[in-house]
Structure 1
Amino acid sequence: MRPAAAILAAGIALLVPAAIRAAPPPETPAAPLSCGGSEPFWSLTLDAQGNARFSDGNGREVAARYTLQQSRNTTLMAGTTFGPGDSVRAVITNNSCVESMSDEDTDDPYEIAVFYDGTLLSGCCNPA
């Protein structure tokens, strides 16, 4: 590459926001997401500003900052750990999910597994 072209390419890279340059592939689960499951009816929201809110369905809630991390070996999975002592761990996969125990049937694009307080919860997520 000629020096002038290299300088132009570097300048353009600086002008493009990092969020656009580092956007995950379209099949990777990405925030904002609204997730939940039944028995118990728990919920998790991950907003685009890095805020998570988890409710365990038994009256306990955890609200904290999070970072959603893409799997190192597949674009179909992402995960996060957040809360006091990393008390909430979630893995979200790009796999169609049907939640039939809730009040209405859903066909969400993502499945989720949440580890909280020694319990494994499963459910579905959709873009919020």
Structure 2
Amino acid sequence: MPQLTPIATVVDHFDIPLSTLHYWERRGLLTAHRRGGRRCYDQDQLYRIALIKQWQTTGLMSLDEIVTLLTARSATGDWRATVTTHMAAIDDRMHELETARHYLHWLLTCPHEGDLEQCPNYRASVTLPEPNN
């Protein structure tokens, strides 16, 4: 009989709501054992919980991406495509954030006080459509 850890211990250790573990089970990500009618997890499932949590927090992956990743890893081994796609999305987001930060810094350092819409630097940076006469 494998060593089993009660769900309450898992919830406390990983700081995960009980409802999250139930949801992960419904999605097919986890398989709980039953001991006295209560859910318990074996060591393999504990590692899987840690992995899912790490992919969510460190890898910034959605649960749908994690489902795809776990399915691809066990079925075809072609999980790299999912990771590559996710990394490209992170790169795109990083570029967007860098652009936003640059713009906000420019806004804060603009020497023209007052109405931002009237700022000559702002107006010089915007292209307007040609008027139709």
Query: TM class, shorter-chain normalised?
Result: under 0.3
Report the TM-score, using the length of structure 1 for normalisation: 0.22
Bigger fraction of residues in strand: 1
Q: Which has the higher contact order (CA 8 A, sep 6+)?
A: 1
Larger Rg belongs to: 2
